[in-house]
Structure 1
Amino acid sequence: MLGFLTARRAGLDDPLRLRRAESTRRVLGLQLNPDRDVDRIHGNGINTIDIEAVEGRYMLSGGADGVIVIYDLENFSGKLQYSCKAVCTVGRSSRYVHKFSVETVQWYPYDTGMFVSSSFDKTMKVWDTETLKPAEVFQFEGNVYCHHLSPIARKHSLIAVGTTNPKIQLCDLKSGSRIHILQGHRAEVLSVRWSPRYEHILATASADSKVKVWDVRRASGSLFTLDQHNGDKSKASSEAVNTAHNGRVNGLCFTGDGLYLLTTGTDDRMRLWNSATGENTLVNYGKVCNESRKRLQFTVSRGCSPEFVFVPCGSSVAVYTLHTGELVTMLRGHYNSVDCCEFHPDYQVSPSDLSPHSQEWFSKWDFIING
């Protein structure tokens, strides 16, 4: 690292190279932080978390008890040991609380004044953060497994929603109505993700073993369906043509640049796809344990070289190198099944880098929440 600093001071390296090198070093040194904790508010398992991108300070969590909590991740106490405090909660005593399990929470990408939650009570709610009251409630016919807002959209304000109905629902934040449906899947939709590169591109995963990529401006159907065999019919059985996995597909995640799409399935496999062509890159991650019947929330690092994938695996989190499939390490510390994880690009150093007089950096492992 001193070599990088010296080269940077001499003007031989650009800031991006130094940042990538340091971010990568810190990810490779991740370990459980003994000095940092998170207030325990949920009475049952935690299904979903999200860290807002505006300040990187506040984290949402949604639990099997229907409760939603907002945490402040910053430490203003000046002490090395501290707990991240819950600043507000939509608890069981609130008249607006979800009646059943909260499956997905997400901050509005451009403003912490709003967030969205969806639940097995067949509703999706758009919340005013200041009042903790829903500004809009969308009702559906079946349980809601997932929803997602585009992180980059400027020309639309659509929320994609996956439910027990095979049709993907597109809800408009501006009008407060469901404006369109996408038809093509034959079973419940377990995960939906907008591309971080093109605002009209959407990927969806279903219990029918298929992953479809859509351009929501087109009414004629999906752009393509991912095929694990890349069109090799000699390897694909007649009933498994154009399937992404040999089981339920319950996890989707784009890389930060949107060039690749990762999928996970109950066949204990994870696959990396070219998001533009739909080609299976054939990266072998080995057996990736996946016993979830619902959406699996996993994540990809940002600003590292190489990039890494963090996947819940039993009571641990498996860390893989994105393009080689190498298992780098297993992050251990939970006593029960891990259901979700999120990567915070600003807090990714091990506690060994901490000193009482240094700028405070914290391992992202602090915020991988037990489900």
Structure 2
Amino acid sequence: MNTQQLLNRSFGFTDHNVLKRGTASRLVYALQPSTVAFNRRHAPADATPERAIAHPSGVNALTIDRFEGRYLLSGGADSSIALWDLESASTVSEDGNPSFLPLAAVNKTSEEHKLGITQLLYYPFDSLAFLSSSYDHTVKLYSSEALQASASFDLDSVVYNIALSPIADHLLVACATQHPAVRLIDLRSGASTHSLPGHSGAILSCAWSPVREHILASGATDGSVRFWDIRRSAGELGTLDLEDSIGRLGRAQAGSTRGSSQSKAHRGPVNGMVWTEDGKHLVTCGHDERIRVWDTDTGANTLANFGPMVRNSGLAPVIPVLAPVQYLPLEQDVVFYPNEHEILQYELFEGKLLRRLRRPEQHRKPHESGRAGKSQRNTKDRVTALAWRAHDVELYSAHADGSITAWKPRTAEDAEVEEEEEQEKEEAEGSKKRKREVLEDIYQDLMGKKITFGGI
């Protein structure tokens, strides 16, 4: 910690938020894979001993409750769902590291999902309920305590992504499906209300505005990103255009969609999007292997360039995670992107690559993606989902090999403390050895024969 910052704060020269942001931002930039493991007890026979298995067939979705930041939900490719308590390590593994066991789990049955989970979301105002979507065409409402489905909605098409507004009380679930229209489910009435037509292909992603409860954004295989006002009969407000760096949307008359059929946000399917906390920007991801940041007031492409390392393929959601702005200096937002076998950490508005987060075994065995085909790249170790833990500087990632990884800060000071502790341990062992040798020499001189003491 910066001593000068502490002095300035103690004398009142700087606001306490400056010190708070400075300290927290150092932690955000110091995330490392932790040793904690998530294990479902019954690992498959061919599982490697060094990797705990959360879902045998792979983990497709993660979410953490935003009230306590304590309970993590994970959804598997085998349709299973597990609930984990992040503050209660149930067991200790053979290597001495903490290991979590699920508080409860749901496996594939005739009453549950029949195919893989695509998305999990906690209820917006109460963590005692959550929603799940699946490739089996259904969206289900569960009780978090009993892990039992209380309602099920059949949308008659694959559900790739679902979204709940974090602020609205209308309780509408926006569903991105194979159908070229956004489907809305009303949790109060228990029925599918109306659809929002406009896309010409399957919809892969959708997200509600965090500041305007009736505004929704959606992305589809046609490469377009559209904005909707669900209160309007026409619905569509406009589309984003990757060639527009000025902002036609902001100058257009309300409700105008002129040129929307030609406007493309990406040169390929759009399968990921997230709003910034203030609702002023939208981040989108597409199969053209680009991440774009948009001004939502004008619809302008900010032209942030994230470089050539971005990878994106498949129809499954690829949703970035934004670090909470209260942990960062002003106008220095950070985005984490699930880039197949690694997580890329970028500065949001400039696209500057800050770090590449990889698990330890990836450093020991560098991935040979250059010689593999695009469809084969990173199949087993692919990062499938990310989740930020509320009230903490912690990131969690889901992987296609069935594991969940916790990323926690490890600063230079932490490394120094660990090194000092290791040195003290080695010195203590050396001191014991020397004492043992001295005692053996003394008794050998006194008794005329060598006596050893193995337990000292």
1:320 is matched with which residue: 319, 324, 346? Answer: 346
SS of the aligned residue for 1:341 comes to strand
1:293 Cα deviation from its structure 2 partner: 2.3
2:263 is matched with which residue: 231, 242, 254? Answer: 242
In structure 2, the CA distance between the partners of 1:145 and 1:157, relative to structure 1 (3 Å rule), is same
Q: Which moved more, 1:269-278 or 1:39-48?
A: 39-48
Residue deviations 1:176-231, cap 9 Å, x none? 11111111011111001011111111110100100001111111131110000018
> Aligned ranges for residues 76-95 of structure 1 at < 5 Å?
81-92=97-108, 94-95=109-110
1:258 match: 279
Report the TM-score, using the length of structure 1 for normalisation.
0.88
**Corresponding position: 1:215 with 2:229:** yes
1:323 Cα deviation from its structure 2 partner: 0.9
- Whether the aligned pair in 1 keeps the contact of 2:60 and 2:117 (CA below 8 Å) is yes
**Corresponding position: 1:281 with 2:302:** yes
User: What is the one-letter code of the residue matched to 1:83?
Assistant: S
In structure 2, the CA distance between the partners of 1:171 and 1:77, relative to structure 1 (3 Å rule), is closer
2:112 match: 97
2:393 match: 347
SS of the aligned residue for 1:31 comes to strand
SS of the aligned residue for 2:235 comes to coil
SS of the aligned residue for 2:351 comes to coil
**Corresponding position: 1:19 with 2:20:** yes
1:363 match: none
State how far apart, in whole Å, the 1-side matches of 2:112 and 2:7 are. 54
2:146 match: 131
1:235 match: none
Q: Which moved more, 1:35-44 or 1:310-319?
A: 35-44
State how far apart, in whole Å, the 1-side matches of 2:4 and 2:90 are. 34
In structure 2, the CA distance between the partners of 1:126 and 1:320, relative to structure 1 (3 Å rule), is same
1:109 Cα deviation from its structure 2 partner: 2.1
SS of the aligned residue for 1:112 comes to coil
> Aligned ranges for residues 117-266 of structure 1 at < 5 Å?
117-154=132-169, 156-230=170-244, 241-266=262-287
1:64 is matched with which residue: 68, 77, 85? Answer: 77
User: What is the one-letter code of the residue matched to 2:105?
Assistant: T
State how far apart, in whole Å, the 1-side matches of 2:16 and 2:88 are. 27
1:10 Cα deviation from its structure 2 partner: 2.8
- Whether the aligned pair in 2 keeps the contact of 1:52 and 1:109 (CA below 8 Å) is no
In structure 2, the CA distance between the partners of 1:210 and 1:139, relative to structure 1 (3 Å rule), is same
State how far apart, in whole Å, the 2-side matches of 1:48 and 1:185 are. 25
Determine which structure has more spread, i.e. the larger CA radius of gyration: 2
User: What is the one-letter code of the residue matched to 1:108?
Assistant: Y
State how far apart, in whole Å, the 1-side matches of 2:130 and 2:90 are. 27
1:139 Cα deviation from its structure 2 partner: 0.6
**Corresponding position: 1:296 with 2:315:** no
The count of residues paired between Structure 1 and Structure 2 equals 348
In structure 2, the CA distance between the partners of 1:165 and 1:316, relative to structure 1 (3 Å rule), is same
User: What is the one-letter code of the residue matched to 2:59?
Assistant: I
In structure 2, the CA distance between the partners of 1:96 and 1:351, relative to structure 1 (3 Å rule), is farther
Residue deviations 1:35-64, cap 9 Å, x none? 322222311121111111010001111111
In structure 2, the CA distance between the partners of 1:77 and 1:189, relative to structure 1 (3 Å rule), is closer
1:369 match: none
State how far apart, in whole Å, the 1-side matches of 2:244 and 2:136 are. 38
Residue deviations 1:249-283, cap 9 Å, x none? 11101112211100000001010001122110011
**Corresponding position: 1:311 with 2:311:** no
SS of the aligned residue for 1:148 comes to strand
In structure 2, the CA distance between the partners of 1:6 and 1:78, relative to structure 1 (3 Å rule), is farther
**Corresponding position: 1:2 with 2:3:** yes
State how far apart, in whole Å, the 1-side matches of 2:166 and 2:5 are. 32
- Whether the aligned pair in 2 keeps the contact of 1:74 and 1:84 (CA below 8 Å) is no
1:77 Cα deviation from its structure 2 partner: 7.4
State how far apart, in whole Å, the 2-side matches of 1:354 and 1:98 are. 44
Residue deviations 1:312-360, cap 9 Å, x none? 11210111100111011110016611111122251345235669x9xxx
Q: Which moved more, 1:81-90 or 1:272-281?
A: 81-90
> Aligned ranges for residues 24-39 of structure 1 at < 5 Å?
24-33=25-34, 35-39=35-39
In structure 2, the CA distance between the partners of 1:186 and 1:32, relative to structure 1 (3 Å rule), is same
2:130 match: 115
- Whether the aligned pair in 2 keeps the contact of 1:73 and 1:85 (CA below 8 Å) is no
Percent identity over the alignment is 36
1:91 Cα deviation from its structure 2 partner: 1.3
In structure 2, the CA distance between the partners of 1:8 and 1:95, relative to structure 1 (3 Å rule), is farther
User: What is the one-letter code of the residue matched to 1:114?
Assistant: A
In structure 2, the CA distance between the partners of 1:125 and 1:347, relative to structure 1 (3 Å rule), is same
State how far apart, in whole Å, the 1-side matches of 2:388 and 2:306 are. 20
- Whether the aligned pair in 2 keeps the contact of 1:90 and 1:96 (CA below 8 Å) is no
SS of the aligned residue for 1:342 comes to strand
User: What is the one-letter code of the residue matched to 2:284?
Assistant: T
User: What is the one-letter code of the residue matched to 1:229?
Assistant: E
- Whether the aligned pair in 1 keeps the contact of 2:60 and 2:384 (CA below 8 Å) is yes
SS of the aligned residue for 2:27 comes to helix
User: What is the one-letter code of the residue matched to 1:339?
Assistant: T
User: What is the one-letter code of the residue matched to 2:107?
Assistant: G
Q: Which moved more, 1:41-50 or 1:262-271?
A: 41-50
RMSD: 2.3
